[in-house]
Amino acid sequence: MTADDVETDAGDADGSADEEWRDSLADAGELTPDIVAQLLAVHGDRGRRAVDAVGEGRVKQYNDFTVVVGHEDEYVVEDGGCTCRDSQYNLDADDPTQRCWHVLAAEIAERIGAVDHHDMYYSEVRNFL
């Protein structure tokens, strides 16, 4: 076994843990203490911020985009990516376990039915902000 094999195995373990909380959440349909613990074990502070955003109703679905309202701006989440600086500069886009808290919040909200739906286009709403 080489050092590369060990690194790959560790990455697989993280991927499995990431899938585990997602599967548990999809099955439960709600955030339970165990699921939150699983999420935090994989995503740490990003996971905590995502749970807070979902609890505060800050995940919005428009006709054209899903938007997560942050403390300083609103961020478009699309196809597992986000317009925030954390996604652009700090995270490896090729590693599915590395997600900003906006993407995590959108994934959580979708799985538990906590997305705030708006029958309008965000591109039109954004012009008023």
The ranges assigned to domains in the chain are: 3-126
Confidence tier at 124 by pLDDT (50, 70, 90): confident
Average pLDDT, the chain: 86
- The C-alpha atoms of residue 94 and residue 43 are separated, in whole angstroms, by 16
For 59-77, the pLDDT digits (tens) are 999 999 999 999 889 999 9
Handedness of CA 56, 80, 95, 89 (dihedral sign): negative
Between 126 and 13, the more confident residue is 126
Model confidence, pTM: 0.84
pLDDT of residue 129: 57
**Mean pLDDT of the region 33-58:** 96
Contact 29, 111 (CB under 8 A): yes
pLDDT band at 14 (very low <50, low <70, confident <90, very high): low
Rounded to 5°, the CA angle 47-89-91 comes to 40
